[in-house]
A and B are shown apart, each in its own frame.
Chain A
Amino acid sequence: MTLAPHPATVKRALSAHAAIGLLAGALLYIVCLSGTLLVFYEEWQRFEQATPPQMTAIDPDAVQRGMEALLATERGKPPTTHFYVDMPLAELPTTRVITDTQSMHLDAQGRLVGPEQIEWANFLYGLHYTLNIPVAQGLVGITLVGLLGVLMIALALSGLIAHPKIFRDAFRLRTRHRGGVALSDWHNRLSVWTLPFSLAIAVTGAVIGLSTVTAAALAERYYGGDVEALYATMFGEEGEPDPAPAQLPDVATALRYMAANHPDVRLTYVTVHEPGTAGQHVQIVAEHPRRLIFGEYYLFDSAGRFEGTAGLADGALGQQAAASNYDLHFGNYGGLPVKIAYALLGLALTAVCATGTFIWLGKRRRRGFDEPRLRAAWHAVVWGAPAALAVTLVVRLTAGNGAPFAALFWGLLALAVAATVLARGRPQSAQELLPAP
Chain B
Amino acid sequence: MPLLGLAAALGVAGVAVLRFAWSLPRRSVPWNAAGWGLLLAAAIGAALAEGAWGVSVASLLAMGAATIALAEAGARAPRGRAAASNRRVGMLPEAGEPRQIGRRIGTFALVILAGSAVSVGLATAMRGLGGLLGWHAANANALALFTVPVAWAVLCTVLLMQTRRRSQFLTLGLCSLPLVPVLLTGALQ
Contacts and interface: CB of A to CB of B under 8 A. Distances in A.
Given A171-B70, A177-B80, A193-B67, A158 B157 contact: yes
Nearest to A367: B86
B53 A317 contact: no
B154 interface: yes
A339 B26 CA distance: 39
Contact of A363 (B82, B86, B136, B162): B86
Nearest to A344: B67
Q: Which of B139, B142, B144, B146 has most chain A Cβ within 10 Å?
A: B142
B180 interface: no
B89 A360 contact: yes
B58 to A, nearest CB: 10
Contacts of B153: 150-151, 153-154, 157, 202, 206
A366 B83 CA distance: 10
A58 interface: no
A16 B89 CA distance: 8
**Binding site secondary structure of chain A:** helix
Nearest to A171: B73
A13 B94 CA distance: 20
Contacts of B116: 147
Contact of A318 (B73, B81, B138, B162): B138
Interface in A171-188: 171-181, 183-184
A197 B77 CA distance: 26
Interface string A346-375: 001000000000001011101101000000
Interface string B88-100: 1111101100000
Interface stretch (A265-273, A319-327, A391-399, A403-411): A319-327
A225 to B, nearest CB: 14
Nearest to A167: B22
Contacts, number: 236
A20 B150 contact: no
Interface in B63-82: 63-64, 66-67, 69-70, 73-75, 77-82
Interface stretch (A26-34, A39-47, A214-222): A214-222
Contacts of B175: none
Contact of B124 (A17, A217, A317): A217
Nearest to A143: B116
Given A154-B157, A178-B81, A292-B52, A338 B60 contact: yes
A113 interface: no
Given A177-B80, A364-B92, A366-B86, A292 B56 contact: yes
B84 A366 contact: yes
Given A18-B91, A150-B156, A317-B139, A179 B84 contact: yes
Interface residues of B, number: 75
B70 A196 contact: no
Q: How large is the interface on A (under 10, 10 to 19, 20 to 34, 35 or more residues)?
A: 35 or more
B138 A234 contact: yes
Contacts of A233: 136-138, 141
Q: Which of B50, B53, B85 has most chain A Cβ within 10 Å?
A: B53
B160 interface: yes
Given A153-B149, A334-B57, A217 B82 contact: no
Contact of A328 (B22, B56, B84, B162): B56
Contact of B145 (A189, A196, A214): A214
Contacts of A210: 145, 148-149
A218 B137 CA distance: 12
Contacts of A290: 50, 53-54
Contact of B83 (A20, A179, A202, A364): A179
A214 B148 contact: yes
A175 B148 contact: no
A11 interface: yes
Contact of A20 (B60, B80, B84, B160): B160
B182 A221 contact: yes
B73 A173 contact: yes
A153 B150 contact: yes
29 contacts: A12-B162, A14-B89, A17-B89, A150-B149, A153-B149, A168-B22, A171-B23, A173-B70, A173-B73, A174-B77, A177-B79, A177-B81, A180-B84, A193-B63, A193-B67, A197-B60, A200-B56, A202-B153, A207-B148, A218-B141, A222-B128, A315-B138, A318-B142, A321-B146, A333-B56, A341-B60, A362-B84, A367-B86, A367-B88
Interface of A: 9, 11-20, 22-23, 146-147, 149-151, 153-154, 157-158, 161, 167-181, 183-184, 189, 193-194, 196-197, 200, 202-203, 206-207, 210-211, 213-215, 217-218, 221-222, 230, 233-234, 290-292, 315-319, 321-322, 324, 328, 333-334, 338, 341, 344-345, 348, 360, 362-364, 366-367, 369, 430
Q: Which 3 A-B pairs rank lowest in CB-CB distance, beginning with the nearest? A: A180-B84, A318-B142, A206-B149
